[in-house]
Structures are given as structure tokens and as C-alpha cells.
């Protein structure tokens, strides 16, 4: 299988560095890093990435606005939202903006690999941290819910 080119968008360098280190021996290769939504947009316009791992809360331009803009630039871009907080409002806004799923920060290497691979293959991913109650809040407004949930 070919490598998955990942853009990591997070304002915390320890998160970006940690992901590079953790994924260094996998088929997922961190090909770009951005500290806010503006940098992410600039990088996506100049480079090809398979998946964007997008932090929700960042200075200058947050992940919600950046996701919305990236989907305007490239409707087929695959975005996986991430945050330390399991907020139904944030998750709903990210999905509405165009993200294909949500992973809670701090998951194990295997969970990150699984989530990124699923998103890369056009599927949906939600962290196990997203409880049934949160799921209902996030997706109850959709007329056509996602066909399959992981």
C-alpha cells in the first residue's frame, strides 16, 4: 500500500512533533505542518496531501473555519478533526464544515493509524470517546446520516 501523505494542523508544536515521532515507522508520513488555518490553506494550495488532521481550537483561524475554506478550495479533501475536548458543538460544526470524522487527542498510535487510514479510504471515523449521547446530538440534525459509522 502507498504511503498516506498527512498534513498536521495544530498550534502546539509538541502535538505536531509527537505525531511525527509516533507515526515515523508507519505508512502515514507527515508531509506538512501548520500552526493555524491560514497556514493550512496555504500549504494545501501548494502541495498534495491525502489527509489533513485538523485541530479544532487554534489562534488566528480555527479548524472549523479552515475546514470550511479547504472544502471550498478542494471539495474532495479529506479532513479528520481533532481536539482534547469531546464537545458535541465542536464536532457538529467540524462535520458540518466538511470534516469526515473526529479523533480525540491522546489516542494510541494504532487508533490514529486506523482513523487516518479510514478517512483516506473515504470512510467516517469517530473516536470511541464520542458517546452515544454525543453522537445523537451531533448527527440528529442530519437529513441523511453517514451511511456507516466506525
Domain boundaries, the chain: 4-138
**Which pLDDT value is given to residue 91?**
85
What whole-number distance in Å separates Cα of residue 127 and Cα of residue 21?
21
6 bridge partner residues: 30, 51
Specify the pLDDT at position 127.
82
Angle 28-55-3 (CA atoms, 0-180°, nearest 5)? Answer: 10
Q: What is the pLDDT of residues 81-121, one digit of tens each?
A: 998 877 778 888 898 999 999 999 988 999 999 999 999 99
Confidence category of residue 126, pLDDT binned at 50, 70, 90? confident
Residue 2 pLDDT level (bands cut at 50, 70, 90): confident
Q: Could you tell me how far CA 18 lies from the centroid of its own chain? A: 16
Q: Does domain 4-138 have CATH number 3.40.630.30?
A: no
- The model's pTM: 0.87
List pLDDT tens digits, range 34-74. 999 999 999 999 999 999 999 999 999 999 999 999 999 99
Q: How far apart are CA 23 and CA 122, in angstroms?
A: 20
To which residue does cell 466538511 refer? 98
Amino acid at each position: 500500500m502507498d504511503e498516506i501523505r498527512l498534513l498536521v494542523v495544530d498550534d502546539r508544536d509538541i502535538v505536531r512533533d509527537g505525531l511525527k515521532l509516533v507515526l515515523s515507522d508507519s505508512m502515514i508520513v507527515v508531509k506538512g505542518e501548520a500552526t493555524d488555518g491560514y497556514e493550512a490553506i496555504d500549504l494545501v494550495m501548494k502541495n498534495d496531501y491525502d489527509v489533513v488532521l485538523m485541530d479544532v481550537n487554534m489562534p488566528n483561524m480555527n479548524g472549523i473555519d479552515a475546514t470550511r475554506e479547504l472544502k471550498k478550495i478542494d471539495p474532495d479533501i479529506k479532513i479528520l478533526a481533532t481536539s482534547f475536548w469531546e464537545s458535541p458543538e465542536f464536532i457538529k460544526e467540524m462535520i458540518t464544515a466538511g470534516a469526515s470524522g473526529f479523533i480525540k487527542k491522546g489516542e494510541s498510535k494504532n487508533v490514529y493509524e486506523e482513523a487516518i487510514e479510514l478517512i483516506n479510504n473515504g470512510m467516517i471515523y469517530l473516536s470511541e470517546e464520542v458517546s452515544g449521547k454525543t453522537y445523537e446530538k451531533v448527527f440528529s440534525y442530519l437529513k441523511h446520516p453517514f451511511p456507516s459509522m466506525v
